[in-house]
Amino acid sequence: MSEMLEFIQGLPKAELHLHIEGTLEPELKFRLAERNGVDLPAASVEEMKAAYDFDDLPSFLAVYYEGMSVLLTENDFFDLTHAYLAKAASQNVMYAEIFFDPQAHTSRGVAFDTVIQGIRRAQEVGRSELGIDTQLIMCFLRDMSVESAAEALGQSLPHKDWIVGVGLDSDERGNPPLKFAEVFARAREHGYRLTIHCDVDQEDSVAHIWQCVSDIGVERIDHGTNSLEDTALIADIHERDLALTSCPISNSFVSDGTKASSIKALLDLGVKVTINSDDPAYFRGYMTENFAVAQHEAGLTSAELVQVSRNALDSAWLSDEERAPYVARLEAYADLY
């Protein structure tokens, strides 16, 4: 292992953009399919992996939703989440904020309760046995109706103490943030923190980011690197100290590259950009691999990588008291190098 890769592997990290359903590795998918008597469209793990050659967001999403057919019971959601937490902990991820997509499950007849109880049980094991702390962010599917999002918000309320915020994901084309302005306003009233996906190089990307910042008032933007195309927009994001959660390997699948140069440009501007894995089982790269790709392509220094980790901790939805031990671990690591 190169010295830089060793540095990245050991770097204490925080992940802020991770879809738990996107951590479903083909091997686990086959195991759950067998356990639940579900037919899969591929005969082997190799055949399934060969079909993971997406070239835009919709082609990825089709495979992502199809994969969820094996997730039926509380134990399935436990196994899914536990596997991610073990992998993340092995890469020195100290803390993660995890997205989940309840509508993708309730629309298949799987109860909201089943989903969250399974995830929750794994989070507790993650904390006690793996030493990784996590919080949950519930995403609305933007290609479903506003009424369906409002219903999901209502279903979440009995579990409010387990959910730190809400997000917006799925197919962005024709589904601007403003479509969900009222649901997000209601979520804020209930005490949820707000973030929204503005995927890379989408139709109307810049206009969508403006809506998030000016109309909805999000605290973070997931992806959002197209904000660099508009100097007034990036100045506004900087001024408001909003974080952007970038996902280099994911970018290379759904657009024309990792956008590592945008990450470097954002760091140079002092914007709180972070590096994350998005859907690591489908894009084949967890945190270490995503940091390594961005470092290699943009020539990031170890100090800049520490800054990326620091940005994630600073923009994590934690109190200063909760944040302090993670920052101390990061600073101790940086001092060693």
Q: Does 15 bind ligand ADE (CB under 6 A)?
A: no
User: In the bound complex, what is the minimum distance in angstroms from residue 62's beta carbon to Zn ion?
Assistant: 15
User: In the bound complex, what is the minimum distance in angstroms from residue 314's beta carbon to Zn ion?
Assistant: 20
Site residues for Zn ion, 82-121, by CB under 5 A, read none
* Site mask for ligand ADE (CB under 6 A), range 141-170, x = bound: ----------------------------xx
Instruction: Give the nearer residue to ligand ADE in terms of CB position, either 19 or 87.
Output: 19
Position among 15, 21, 79, 278 found at the interface with Zn ion (CB under 5 A): 278
Q: Does 280 bind ligand ADE (CB under 6 A)?
A: no
Instruction: Give the nearer residue to ligand ADE in terms of CB position, either 97 or 199.
Output: 199
Torsion, Cα 76 80 82 85, to 10 degrees, reads -160
Site residues for ligand ADE, 35-74, by CB under 6 A, read 57, 64
Q: Does 248 bind ligand ADE (CB under 6 A)?
A: no
3-state SS of the chain is CCHHHHHHHHCCEEECCEEHHHHCCHHHHHHHHHHHCCCCCCCCHHHHHHCCCCCCHHHHHHHHHHHHHHCCCHHHHHHHHHHHHHHHHHCCEEEEEEEECHHHHHCCCCCHHHHHHHHHHHHHHHHHHHCCEEEEEEEEECCCCHHHHHHHHHHHHHHHHHEEEEEEECCCCCCCHHHHHHHHHHHHHCCCEEEEEECCCCCCHHHHHHHHHHHHCCCEEEECHHHHHCHHHHHHHHHHCCEEEECHHHHHHHCCCCCHHHHHHHHHHCCEEEECCECHHHHCCCHHHHHHHHHHHHCCCHHHHHHHHHHHHHHCCCCHHHHHHHHHHHHHHHHHC
Instruction: Give the nearer residue to ligand ADE in terms of CB position, either 151 or 279.
Output: 279
Kindly state the number of chain residues that form the binding site for Zn ion, as judged by CB under 5 A. 1
Instruction: Give the nearer residue to Zn ion in terms of CB position, either 18 or 116.
Output: 18
User: In the bound complex, what is the minimum distance in angstroms from residue 17's beta carbon to Zn ion?
Assistant: 6
Instruction: Give the nearer residue to ligand ADE in terms of CB position, either 122 or 281.
Output: 281
Which partner, Zn ion, ligand ADE, none, binds residue 251 by CB below 5 to 8 Å per kind? none
Stretch that binds Zn ion, among 73-81, 160-168, 276-284, 312-320 (CB under 5 A): 276-284
Position among 15, 20, 22, 100 found at the interface with ligand ADE (CB under 6 A): 22
The residue with its CB nearest to Zn ion is 278
For ligand ADE, the binding residues (CB under 6 A) are 19, 22, 57, 64, 169-170, 197, 199, 250, 278-279
For Zn ion, the binding residues (CB under 5 A) are 278
